[in-house]
Amino acid sequence: MARAALLAALIAISELTSSAAGDPGTRADSRPSALDTPWDPARVSHIVDEARQARQQGDLVAAERLCYTVFETVDRDSVVGYDAYADLLKTEHRAEEATVRAQAARLRELRAHRADSKGPTSTYLGFAPSDGLNAYSELLQALGQADEAQRMRSLALAYRQVQVAHLQRTLMFSQGKDPRGAC
């Protein structure tokens, strides 16, 4: 239990540090960048592993808190990634900018709706955020930003995995199983 509390404190410190790092979209060359997103796949993977361990040890409350952290991190960073993608499209004078900007707004609306809801929600977006993040990755790759492209590919994969986890949790619940900590 002390280990889970320590991990939660480290996560909180990490989030404060990343939010204090500055506004997304500011770089010396004024080009929006995926580096402006706080996405850290290694940290998220570590949290998922901690959640699995807590679940296996029967600490479902700690496991669920960790899963919630993962879900929120992926959702938040996906919105930030979409915003950075729209900003880059604008900088590059690409026609898709308006569509991507509207999709980012839709993702923000969904996050706000989830924050206000009391239970699980399922919403049809009309687009696949993981596809948009992969398109962003391809653009970054084409612009010679391979490391940033890889980070966005990993975020796209994480977004897809979180959606699968939500489905699996729903199925577990419908089968009478406890989904807490299953992420």
Model pLDDT, residue 11 = 35
Contact 44, 73 (CB under 8 A): yes
Q: Which amino acid is at 163?
A: Q
Contact 148, 34 (CB under 8 A): yes
Task: Give the span between the Cα atoms of 83 and 68, in whole angstroms.
Answer: 23
Model pLDDT, residue 157 = 97
Averages of pLDDT over each 10 residues, the chain, 183 residues: 36 33 37 59 95 96 95 94 96 96 93 74 84 97 95 96 94 94 91
Cα distances from 37 to residues 42, 57, 132, 137, 138, in angstroms, run: 14, 33, 15, 13, 17
Model pLDDT, residue 22 = 35
Model pLDDT, residue 114 = 78
Model pLDDT, residue 119 = 64
